[in-house]
Amino acid sequence: MRGQAIRDLWRLLLLLGPAWRWQVAGLVLGILVILTNVGLLALSGWFITAMGMAGLGLLHIEYFVPAAAIRALAILRTVGRYLERLVTHDATLRLLSDLRVWFYTHLEPLAPAGLQRHRTGDLLSRIRADIDSLDNVYLRVLAPSLAAFICMCFITIFLARFSLAAAVTDLLGLIIVGIGLPMLAFRAVRRPAEAAVSGRGRLRADIADTIRGYDELRVFGALMRQTSRQEVAHTALDRLKLQGTRIESAATGSALVLIQMTMLTAFAVTIHPVISGRLPAPDLAMIVLLVLASFDAVSGLPGAYRALGQTLGAARRIFEIVDTPPTVKDPTQEAPVPARLDITFRDVSFRYPGSEGWALRHINCHAPAGSAIGIMGQSGSGKTSLVNLILRFWEFQEGDITIGGVSIRDLSAETMRGLCSVITQQTHLFNTSIRENLRIAKPAATEVEMEAALECAGVREEVLAMTRGLDTMVGELGAQLSGGQARRIAIARAFLKDAPILILDEPTEGLDALSEDAVNRALTRLMQGRTSLVISHRRQTLRLFRTILHIADGRIIGPEQVTRMIADKQ
């Protein structure tokens, strides 16, 4: 387990690279702030003592230089603290941004096959909360640790010029408070912290599922049972948090005692040279206050190493996703993008991992370029599996699928998805404006292009009639729009992408008759000139196609059975 934690920490450190200039600048400013703070307190103690002795006629000093130095250190500390906070937080935000992009680039190839064992709420928790926890790596662990080590070296060397015994005493105190206590606290809190991270992720996933299924839970009388289970989980998290707080309190109290003991020991080893006249009296005040202030260098380390347990727990959850091998691997050398866009299935068979039965068996069919083919069948018959193979969501075990004579195994998943536009019954709209949802298909789209796409989808007038037009917020999963409006905005997105292959999975499912008619008219325009595969069992939608494939038990049924099936629906 310890070796795993070290490997996770090393991997985290390797991810700090892109914003290293900001991180180094923050580290330098942090060192500057610590040294100016220590120097200010030590010099102030020396100056006050020296001025008191000068007032008694026991010492003659030139006070202009130390007075100016104190002012300069005070100004430098204030400005340095502001700049240090500004730079380190900017570096942290840059790091979090880079980490999210890095995580998403590893997450995308896994969808959807590699992510099926993860709940949606759990994935959201990992993307947001767990990656947010990784800001501790630089801000609370790496920068304070390096700053503490460098400052400890400077302070020890400086103290040794006045009193070697005081320097050794201070160094031992700094090591115990800055390294010994934090490591003990880390070992004590690591398991509770990792358990808290995992528990918090499960609780967030449960809450997300509860919110989305709130109406169903109420209808079936399961809401109270669900919330009770979440209350139990929350109580368990509170116990883990209390355990961590107790460890933190014990470490903080022990650190305060050790700091006072170190300061008193430094005073004890320095007083004799002062009494014997080998060391000026003002130096005693300077040394004692410098020892006291030197612990500012390690003051952040106990909290840093206590947070490290939570950080490593979050990192482990992130790396679990990143280390998952993709279900479909891209070719080592990709073939050129096919010039023709006809789709051919040649004796394709496919079964899901861990399943004994075949989802598709010996599929042979051909969709000429620019044609539209309807696909029908009962739930579980293999319709969606068929189109998911084209999108490279899953890898088939037998046969081949070609586009323009090029095997899709010789094309990357990115290329395949670039050739295809997909519209499903579950319209995926983000909780932002209509404009931004359209730009998913074409980031550089102009307002004229967006309105033209909306016009082709038959929803332009409705969008422009809204209070904020294209800037209207659609809500979570498009909740502020009707089902027909959301579906037609998805169709507008397909118009903007202008991909040559169109895949529709139950595009009119769940719509009323008027909305279904509007969506079908938009789909008719969208399919013109595109190779289209459309899954549906709706009679109105099936009338759009001359060629219809009927799939049952993973096989394509003969033409005479298809004809009879359509007649039954009519």
Cβ atoms < 10 Å from Cβ of 216: 10
Position 140 scores a pLDDT of: 78
> What SS3 state is found at 388?
helix
Strand order in the sheet with 343-350: 360-367, 343-350, 398-403, 406-407
Amino acid type, 510: G
Within 8 A by CB and 6+ apart from 317, the residues are 126, 130, 197, 198, 201
Look at residues 51, 286, 54, 59 and name the one whose alpha carbon lies nearest to residue 162. 286
The per-residue DSSP string of 198-229 comes to HHHHHHHHHHHHHHHTHHHHHHTT-HHHHHHH
* Fold held by 2-322: ABC transporter transmembrane region fold (1.20.1560)
Given a contact cutoff of 8 angstroms between Cβ atoms, the answer to whether 155 and 34 are in contact is no
**What are phi and psi for residue 494, nearest 5 degrees?**
-65, -35
The one-letter amino acid code at 362 reads H
Instruction: Identify the three-state secondary structure at position 419.
Output: helix
Query: Which three-class secondary structure string do you get for 319-381?
Result: HHHHCCCCCCCCCCCCCCCCCCCCEEEEEEEECCCCCCCCCEEEEEEEECCCCEEEEECCCCC
Residue 240 pLDDT: 84
Rounded Cα distance, 279 and 484, in Å: 87
The architecture CATH gives domain 343-569: 3-Layer(aba) Sandwich (3.40)
DSSP 115: G
Amino acid at 392: R
Is residue 241 a contact partner of residue 200, using CB atoms and an 8 Å limit?
Answer: no
Picking from 286, 367, 295, the residue whose alpha carbon sits closest to that of residue 546 is 367
What pLDDT, on the 0 to 100 scale, is given for residue 2?
61
E strand or H helix at 88: helix 64-107
Residues 516-538 as b or e (16 or more Cβ within 10 Å = b): bebbbebbeebbeebbbbbbbbb
* Domain boundary assignment for the chain: 2-322, 343-569
According to DSSP H, which parts of 108-220 are helical? 120-125, 131-133, 136, 143-160, 164-175, 181-212, 214-219
pLDDT in tens, the chain (570 residues): 466 777 777 877 777 777 778 888 888 999 999 999 999 999 898 888 888 887 777 777 777 888 898 899 999 989 999 999 898 888 888 888 888 888 888 887 777 777 777 777 677 777 777 787 777 778 778 888 888 889 999 999 999 988 899 999 999 999 998 888 877 877 777 777 777 877 877 887 788 778 877 888 888 888 888 888 888 888 888 888 888 778 778 877 888 889 899 999 999 999 988 888 888 888 889 999 999 999 988 877 776 776 777 777 778 888 888 888 888 888 888 888 888 888 999 999 998 887 878 889 888 888 888 888 888 888 778 888 888 888 888 888 899 999 988 999 998 888 888 888 888 777 788 888 989 989 988 888 888 888 898 888 888 888 888 888 888 888 877 778 887 888 888 888 888 888 889 888 887 777 777 877 887 888 888 888 888 888 877 766 677 777 788 888 888 875 444 444 444 444
Instruction: Tell me the residue ranges of DSSP E strands in 145-272.
Output: none
How far is residue 169 CA from its own chain's centroid?
Answer: 44
Say which residue the tokens 């719509």 belong to.
511
Question: What does the alpha-carbon distance between residue 544 and residue 527 come to, in Å, rounded to a whole number?
Answer: 10
Residue among 109, 136, 102, 107 nearest 15 (CA): 102
3-state secondary structure of 237: helix
Using the Cα atoms of residue 394, residue 399, residue 404 and residue 409 in order, give the sign of their dihedral. Answer: positive
- pLDDT value of position 372: 84
pTM of the model: 0.67
The structure tokens listed for 165 are 């015994």
- Note the pLDDT of residue 394: 86
Separation between Cα atoms, residue 425 and residue 319, nearest integer Å: 32
Sequence-separated (6 or more) residues with CB below 8 Å from residue 532: 371, 372, 373, 501, 502, 503, 504
- Residues with Cβ < 8 Å from 108, sequence gap 6 or more? none
Q: Are 532 and 502 in contact (CB under 8 A)?
A: yes
